[in-house]
């Protein structure tokens, strides 16, 4: 047991110095949000069987990233709609 203790301490120190789930900056989250919107736009104009599942997964990730950025749901949905192949009707996003 005495031999394992230093090894565990070294692993703990290494994990402390390089955390597996380090926090991202707002700039990184915003960049990821914009990238996901661009990817969502590309997926919306593709056709195929697996496109729906990809769209649902991307939609969920975009909403989560938007919430992390502090955006209201209405603005997130507006961004998603603007980057999709859905029709935007006049006055749809009026306040």
Does 42 map to a domain? yes
Does 2 map to a domain? no
Does 61 map to a domain? yes
**pLDDT tens for the 95 residues of the chain, in order:** 445 556 677 777 777 777 666 678 899 999 999 999 999 988 888 776 678 888 888 899 999 999 999 999 999 999 998 888 765 555 655 55
pTM of the predicted model as reported, rounded to 2 decimal places: 0.67
Judge whether 56 and 43 are in contact, CB under 8 Å: no
Does 1 map to a domain? no
Does 18 map to a domain? no
Domain span holding position 62: 26-82
Does 91 map to a domain? no
Q: Report residue 70 as tokens.
A: 């502090």
Does 36 map to a domain? yes
Q: 83: how many CB neighbours lie within 10 A of its CB?
A: 20
- Number of structural domains (the chain) is 1
């Amino acid at each position: 047991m005495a031999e394992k203790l230093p090894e565990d301490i070294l692993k703990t120190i290494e994990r402390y110095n390089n955390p597996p789930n380090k926090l991202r900056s707002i700039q990184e989250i915003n960049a990821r949000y914009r990238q996901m919107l661009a990817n969502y736009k590309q997926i919306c104009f593709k056709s195929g069987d697996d496109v729906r599942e990809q769209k649902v997964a991307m939609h969920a990730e975009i909403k989560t990233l938007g919430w992390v950025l502090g955006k209201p749901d209405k603005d997130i949905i507006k961004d998603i709609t603007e980057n999709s192949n859905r029709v935007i009707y006049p006055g749809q996003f009026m306040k």
